[in-house]
Amino acid sequence: MPELPEVETTLRGIAPHITGKTIHRVHIRQPKLRWLVPENLSETLCHQVILSCSRRAKYLILQFEHGIVLIHLGMSGSLRIFTPDNVPLAGKHDHIDFECADGTVLRYHDPRRFGAVLWYAGAAEHHHLLQSLAPEPLSDEFNIAYLTPLLNARRQPIKTVLMDNKIVVGVGNIYANESLFLSGITPQRPANQLNATEIAQLIHNIKQVLQRAIECGGSTLRDFVDSNGKSGYFQQEYRVYGRHNQPCLQCGMPIHKIVIAQRASFYCANCQK
């Protein structure tokens, strides 16, 4: 499931291969993603140059002269680059090909189709999906002065609040669990009960764990080119996520699994208070 580090790694993996290139056509095999892929996307993008590639939250943004293509990988989406004359036949869930004039193909693959590929004839910051997003977790804007009043206004479990895009973007289920473990904070604690030290710890650990995962992704960048995609994303070592009943890596006590707001939550009752 692509979390922010995977999306960032995807961006770095594809950007050098498509930036500055001209779209020749777009093949849409399955338009029914989270939202319908615009039917006329190929006509819209034909002869248009990909000016730049960027990321906001877990959205990838391809910048064109007259608008943007917005890509979200949902939870099973991936992007691959195929070099000219090296493009394999499309597989079952290869829903969209962006074909460049030089033959390079950017292929969107998404078995569960929770992702999105959209066109917006305007600036990225004006798109309704992007304009009300909270700060990036790795930015300086995401700091103690910013977060403290927002947490104090919430009674929900801290884990739920961390996953709220109005508080901070890009912290999904896995990294919410991981950063709370690293901070010694139990996921069900009401957000307004965290003290200043804990908030500082949490911010530090969110940045740390995301940054580390992005650095791990750096060694897999070649996987985005001419790969069959089966290797998938890098395997991150998780400290609590998915470790139900396994010994805590700090104290050896079994890891608990509970459901908070319909999401699997893992924690050590001994290390996290």
Partner DNA sequence: CTGTTCTCCTGTGGGC
Partner DNA sequence: TGCCCACAGGAGAACA
Active site annotation includes 38: no
| Catalytic residue flag (residue 237) | no
- Our answer to whether residue 84 is catalytic in this structure is no
According to the binding rule CB under 7 A, does residue 76 interact with DNA?
A: yes
Choose one: 8-16, 47-55, 73-81, 179-187; the region binding DNA (CB under 7 A): 73-81
Which of 36, 51, 251, 261 touches DNA (CB under 7 A)? 261
Contact 74, 110 (CB under 8 A): yes
Kindly state the smallest distance separating residue 34's Cβ from DNA, in Å.
Answer: 6
Q: How far is the CB of 149 from DNA (least distance, A)?
A: 10
**Which one of 43-51, 108-116, 140-148, 194-202 is the stretch in contact with DNA (CB under 7 A)?**
108-116
Residues 189-218 that bind DNA (CB under 7 A): none
Choose, by CB under 7 A, the member of 29, 66, 126, 166 that binds DNA: 166
- Are 22 and 47 within 8 A, CB to CB? yes
Number of residues that bind DNA (CB under 7 A): 35
Q: Does 262 bind DNA (CB under 7 A)?
A: yes
C-beta separation of 158 from 190 below 8 A: yes
Using CA atoms, how far residue 196 sits from 133, 145, 146, 229, in Å, is 24, 10, 12, 44
Cβ closest to DNA, residue 100 vs residue 176 = 176
Answer for which of 49, 90, 138, 264 binds DNA (CB under 7 A) is 264
Residue 263 annotated to the active site: yes
**Minimal distance, residue 255 CB to DNA, in Å:** 14
| Using rule CB under 7 A, residue 112 touches DNA | yes
Between the CA of residue 92 and those of 46, 106, 208, 238, what are the distances in Å? 25, 16, 37, 30
Residues ≥6 apart with Cβ < 8 Å to 7: 55, 58, 59, 60, 73, 170
Q: Using CB under 7 A, pick the residue from 72, 109, 127, 243 that binds DNA.
A: 72
74 lines the binding site for DNA (CB under 7 A): yes
Nearer to DNA (CB atom), residue 222 or residue 230: 230
Q: Please report whether residue 156 would count as binding DNA according to CB under 7 A.
A: yes
Binding site for DNA (CB under 7 A): 1, 3, 32, 34, 57-58, 72, 74-76, 92-93, 111-114, 128-129, 153-156, 160, 165-166, 170, 172-174, 242, 259, 261-264
